[in-house]
Amino acid sequence: MADDPGAAVEELLERVVTALGLDATVEITDDGETCTGTVHGEDLGLFIGRHGQTIDAVQHLAQRVSGARSEHGRRIVVDAEGYRERREAILRRQADRAAEDALRGSRPVALDAMTASERRLVHEYLREHGEVQTYSEGDEPDRHLVVAPLAP
């Protein structure tokens, strides 16, 4: 399976879709850096799971079965009908609000617990802000990101 990350991801996603009894198709795209497996269909809530827990678990499995990180250096992404893009937009809005609140109140603002990849996205997004800093606190699964004003 690990010789072709795309084939490994496709096989895994098709098995998961079948096991969940979903009427969906699987599409694989690979740009040489990122291999993306996208599940297309209606009513994919079961595949995404509460707060994205299921899709994140499937993505973790896809990374493991594809061997992509160690052998091919490719990032593996599993998506379902634009979930990742919608989630990223939500996280950016939360980050913007937290930065505004931190600056307005001159105090750190803690965001809700999120996955490591979500925390990384917010860290990178706010890195360019210039007036705030970010850091993570707590232990998994309750690890969260804090947005704080930079000291003058």
30-59 per-position pLDDT tens digit: 998 889 999 999 889 999 998 888 999 999
pLDDT one-digit tens code per residue, 52-99: 889 999 999 998 888 754 455 678 999 998 999 999 999 999 999 999
DSSP secondary structure string for all residues of 47-113: HH-GGGHHHHHHHHHHHHHHTIIIII--EEEEEETTHHHHHHHHHHHHHHHHHHHHHHHTS-EEEEE
Are 12 and 65 in contact by the 8 Å Cβ rule? The answer is yes
pLDDT, mean of residues 91-109: 96
Going from N- to C-terminal start, the domains of the chain cover 5-81, 86-149
pLDDT, mean of residues 118-132: 92
Nearest partner of 8 among 54, 50, 70, 53, judged by Cα: 70
CATH number 3.30.420.80 given to 5-81: no
Q: What is the pTM of this model?
A: 0.80
pLDDT of 115 reads 86
Q: What is 86-149's CATH number?
A: 3.30.1370.50
Q: Does 30 or 152 have the greater pLDDT score?
A: 30
pLDDT of 1 reads 43
pLDDT one-digit tens code per residue, 3-13: 688 899 999 99
Are 76 and 51 in contact by the 8 Å Cβ rule? The answer is no
